[in-house]
Chains A and B, each alone.
Chain A
Amino acid sequence: MALTTAHQSAGAEANSATSGRPARKPRESGRLRRQEGRAGYVFLSPWLLGLMAITAFPMLFSLYLSFTNYDVLASWDQVEWVGLDNYQRMFTEDPSYWHAVRVTLTYALIAVPLKLAAALGVALLLNRERRGVGLFRSLFYLPSLLGGSVALALVWRAMFSGDGAFNDLLSLFGIEGAPWVNDPTWALETLMVLAVWQFGAPMVIFLAGLKQVPTDLYEAAAVDGAGKFRQFWNITLPMLSPVIFFNLVLETINGFQGFTSAFVISNGTGGPVYSTLLYTLHIYNEGFTEFRMGYASALSWVFLIAIGLITVVFFSTGRFWVHYSDGEN
């Protein structure tokens, strides 16, 4: 589900940085300005309330819970402060924890680059096409709308089961398949295929980015004798780097938040043998199956810090390879 969430965030920061307050007309009286200031907070009030009650308070509350042994079944006076026990348990005693970290990193590090490569490749092919682009683009985009659903995860489970359609296909070539979703070596790979299958959303964004590349750059390069590959390497990639960066940030963050497919394919267990135990699934199981909500809160906070660090790393390394053409002209 979260796949398409927050598509624009990277652009947002660029935008908010550049949009200055327009010059105010001196004629406007102080009374009007005060009226507008009050109206601003009136219009903002639902969002502010949401920020406080639905986001900020729960975050602090979960930080507190992460230092307790809270479970939702016990009454409040049974809650005990346990200090750093939850965190210590996470890193040293929980046998599933490092599996969850490893599975999540593997999933994100492989599925996200593959998905972006597929998206960019298909966008480059489509960008050359004159007719039928709209139809292709829409049909390629369709999986991004449907792919996060339980229905598709069920289809994947059936397709990649031991007696599923994929093994049928392999047997046509005389290959004996595996019980894919029930095989610890392959279960995570089937989830990656499902993620890559949804390459349509980043592809649409790449296509829009490709349209912005000025054609005279290619003409000038062709005159200078640059071949197709050099044109791609020296023009397309640098010109597209802001869009690549944008897609990379979003897809990575979405990749870390995969849940539905792993839950459905493993029936909530993260199995076989931890092979599909994404971090989010571990949080869910600890919190809502084992009712160790204090511990699950600690897991959540480490997750939040990890995602924050990854975002910081992206934005601080971005300036070394993301090329913004406005700055030079």
Chain B
Amino acid sequence: MAVQAATVTGRGSSGALRGVVRIVILVAILGFVLYPLLWMLGSSLKSPTEVASNLSVLPTEPTWANYPDGWSYIDGISFGRFFLNSTVIALATVVANAVSCLVAAFAFARLHFRGRKVWFAIMIATLLLPSHVLIIPQYVMFNYFGWVDTPLPLIVPRLLATEAFFVFLMVQFMRGIPRELDHAAKIDGCSPYGVFRYVILPLSRPALVTTAIFSFIWTWNDFFTQLVYLPSPTSYTVPIGLRLFIDSTGQTSLGPMFAMSALSLLPVFLFFLAFQRLLVQGINTSGLKG
């Protein structure tokens, strides 16, 4: 007993030292990870004379002036417009992705029909297809429809379950729902549509929430497609609006630039705070359990 206690404490003290070293390293890495974000926040509160080259996170004389300055930085259009445009596109994408990907995933995960395996393999292949490869022909097509400078090229493809990642995520989720429930519903006379409506839809809520969150964040942060399809300032979204800060490299615009950058990240950050557990799980969903 005494011997055992001694070895345990012996291991404990060297283990404790290692533990302290580990924590110190982790905190140091955390500093590196968080510094750019804190620096952006701090700089958004700095006065023009202070902002240019300043390592420190804390402003000496905090001022909110950068926020109203940045909000109306672009002549004639306020950032409010950009935020509105971004919100409309992001929310429409959330709904479109959730509905279309759920429907497609149900077919892949639960229904037996000819050619299912082939279609599923094609869906997986499209996961790896870079969006940059399709942008030219899609642009030509949407331009022909007269959709350029409207949100349609950003939303309509999403209605057709083109975000294969979410289809896949939901297929994996549905495979975890017991098949006995489907059989029971069928015995009670449910058609495949009934199974979808009364069994799969209510049980797929966690996958729908994950899809909604990731759809929102990715659309909110998206730059490439919005840059291509939204050429005129009134239809700009937040990322495209932020880009306008680059053209003027004068030091006075750095403060407003930081202010609007920080503001643009706020919705994503709030999602992160509210759903961090779901987000981390979302990355881990299946595929890894094998």
Contact = CB atoms under 8 A, between A and B. Distances in A.
Indicate whether A and B interact: yes
Interface of A: 1-2, 4-16, 18-19, 21-22, 24, 32-33, 35-41, 43-44, 46-51, 53-55, 57-59, 61-62, 65, 70, 72, 122, 125-126, 128-129, 134, 136-143, 145-146, 148-152, 154-159, 163-165, 167-169, 172, 197, 200-201, 204-205, 208-209, 212, 242-243, 246, 253, 256-257, 259-260, 263-264, 267, 280, 283-284, 287-288, 293, 296-297, 300-301, 303-304, 307, 311, 324, 326
19 contacts: A1-B218, A1-B222, A8-B169, A11-B288, A41-B113, A43-B106, A44-B107, A54-B162, A62-B137, A136-B26, A145-B217, A150-B240, A151-B239, A168-B55, A169-B55, A257-B131, A280-B224, A284-B132, A326-B290
| Interface residue SS majority, chain A | helix
Interface string B1-41: 00000000000000000010011011001101110110110
A59 B175 CA distance: 31
A6 B288 contact: no
B242 to A, nearest CB: 5
A299 B39 CA distance: 39
Contact of A36 (B40, B111, B132, B138): B111
B230 to A, nearest CB: 12
B261 interface: yes
Nearest to B165: A6
Contacts, number: 337
Interface in B228-278: 228, 238-240, 242-243, 245-247, 254, 257-258, 260-262, 264-265, 268-269, 272, 276-277
A49 B120 contact: no
Interface in B96-139: 100, 103-104, 106-108, 111-114, 116-117, 119-124, 126-139
Contacts of A141: 276, 279-280
Contacts of B76: none
Contact of B265 (A62, A146, A246): A146
A15 B168 CA distance: 11
Contact of A140 (B22, B33, B37, B228): B33
A8 B54 CA distance: 41
B290 A242 contact: yes
Contacts of A39: 107, 111, 113, 191-193
Contact of B136 (A14, A43, A62, A307): A62
B68 interface: no
